[in-house]
Amino acid sequence: METEIKISAQTVKQLRERTGAPWADCKAALTESKGDLDGAEVVLRKKGLAAAQKRAGRTTLEGLVGFYIHAGAKIGVLVELNCESDFVARTAEFQQLSHDIAMHIAASDPRFIRKEEVTPEILEKEKEIYRAQALASGKPEKVLDRIVQGKMEKFYEEVCLLEQHFIKDPGQTVNQVIASSIGKLGENISVQRFVRFKVGDSAERTSKSS
């Protein structure tokens, strides 16, 4: 017979502070992970992703414009973050999420919001470069496609906001951070557009969801 793991209130509190998830969800995740905090956090992330997938088709017409001005006021970002209701848009967590995403954009300088926005012309150009590099290094023809595919995944991580590793928690992508908030707030959340200004750079970075 399997011994029941007792989860202390202090452990539940620790997990809540780390994830922001509701008390009952934290306790259930800790029970599932047999009291392991890191394991429980993984459980909550997976549930957040599942919840995000269920809500992905819902319309997001409410939201707010978040902003971030970097120290020294040389870089500034505006980002439109959408949700389903004005109620959620006014919550502290949603407002913090918009600020954190704006800060991430300031630091990581993405070119697109998601993979699907990368134009075919850019994709083909990148693939040609990676293929030429692999050939020049002496890689055999039969492994070129696999090498190019791996390079393209890295390319997406560098230029697409949702694929980038979150500046405040590199263990998660921005998409996973948003998915976690969807699970907590119970509404679909999406990044609609952003603009990044940098002093001295006349071509500011802009991206809008199509």
pLDDT of residue 183: 82
Statement to judge: residues 67 and 153 lie in one domain = no
Q: Domain for residue 141, yes or no?
A: yes
The 10 Å Cβ neighbour count of residue 115 is 15
CA-to-CA dists, residue 206 to 1, 133, 187, angstroms: 59, 30, 26
- Rg (the chain; Cα; Å): 20
* Residue spans of the chain under pLDDT 50: 1-2
- Which 8-state DSSP code applies to residue 141? G
Q: Domain for residue 165, yes or no?
A: yes
**Number of domains within the chain:** 3
Q: Domain for residue 201, yes or no?
A: yes
Residue 46 belongs to domain spanning = 9-55
- For residue 186, what is the domain's CATH number? 3.30.479.20
pLDDT of residue 2: 46
- For residue 138, what is the domain's CATH number? 1.10.286
Rounded to whole angstroms, the Cα distance separating 156 from 193 reads 18
- For residue 19, what is the domain's CATH number? 1.10.8.10
Statement to judge: residues 27 and 39 lie in one domain = yes
Q: Domain for residue 34, yes or no?
A: yes
Q: Domain for residue 3, yes or no?
A: no
Rounded to whole angstroms, the Cα distance separating 64 from 145 reads 42
pLDDT of residue 1: 40
Say which amino acid occupies 197: F
Q: Domain for residue 2, yes or no?
A: no
Q: What's the full length of the chain, in residues? A: 210
Statement to judge: residues 13 and 103 lie in one domain = no
Statement to judge: residues 107 and 167 lie in one domain = yes
